[in-house]
């Protein structure tokens, strides 16, 4: 059985995490077991009882960490696409999940506001959504991510290739 590992995508809402996750799934489909842990989807099931306070966000992330750990140790490539705004929580994920690479999906907040694929920034700026990361709640950028992709400067394929190259460099993938 191939070893599992985790690609943890962190960044603002609208930075491109879900798009990159979808491309990674396309890349591995049919050749490896792969699962995506997308924040929006998980909040409809696994964490539907949680809000967006710091405590609830940490609990949401801890649930994802637990599930990811189980999947990865059974040979699954797990792509986590979560804002995951706090360094402390991401550090905990690295402690708990063997073979985890942290990927900073970087796009300036003004670019994310302009993209606003779900209309959430517009609502947050109007005061209709509270505790919105980057508006009235902090995002702690990774200090030493394994990879930084700059989605405002790179194509999706360029970002995905950087991630795959790093996975090979770390020994998570062979000549794939």
Q: Is 84 noted as a catalytic residue in this protein?
A: yes
Long-range contacts of 97-100 (CB under 8 A, 24+ apart): 97/6, 97/8, 97/65, 97/68, 97/69, 97/72, 98/5, 98/72, 98/73, 99/3, 99/4, 99/5, 99/6, 99/72, 99/170, 99/172, 100/5, 100/6, 100/8, 100/68, 100/72
Tell me which of 15, 47, 84, 159 is the catalytic residue. 84
- Biggest CA–CA distance in the chain, Å, is 51
State how far the alpha carbon of 105 is from the alpha carbons of 8, 41, 76, 141, in Å: 10, 19, 22, 10
Q: Indicate which residues carry an active-site annotation.
A: 84
């Amino acid at each position: 059985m191939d070893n599992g590992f985790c690609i943890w995508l962190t960044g603002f809402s609208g930075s491109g995490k879900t798009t990159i996750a979808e491309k990674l799934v396309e890349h591995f489909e049919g050749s490896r077991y792969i699962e995506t842990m997308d924040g929006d989807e998980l909040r409809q099931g696994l964490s539907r009882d949680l809000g967006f306070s710091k405590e609830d966000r940490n609990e949401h992330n801890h649930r994802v960490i637990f599930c990811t750990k189980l999947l990865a140790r059974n040979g699954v490539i797990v792509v986590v696409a979560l804002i995951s705004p706090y360094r402390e929580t991401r550090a905990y994920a690295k402690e708990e999940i063997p073979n985890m690479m942290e990927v900073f999906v970087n796009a300036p907040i003004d670019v994310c506001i302009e993209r606003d694929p779900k209309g959430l920034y517009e609502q947050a700026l109007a005061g209709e959504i509270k505790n919105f990361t980057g508006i009235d709640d902090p995002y702690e950028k990774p200090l030493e991510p394994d990879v930084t992709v700059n989605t405002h400067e790179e194509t999706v394929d360029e970002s995905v290739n950087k991630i795959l190259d790093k996975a090979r460099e770390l020994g998570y993938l062979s000549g794939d």
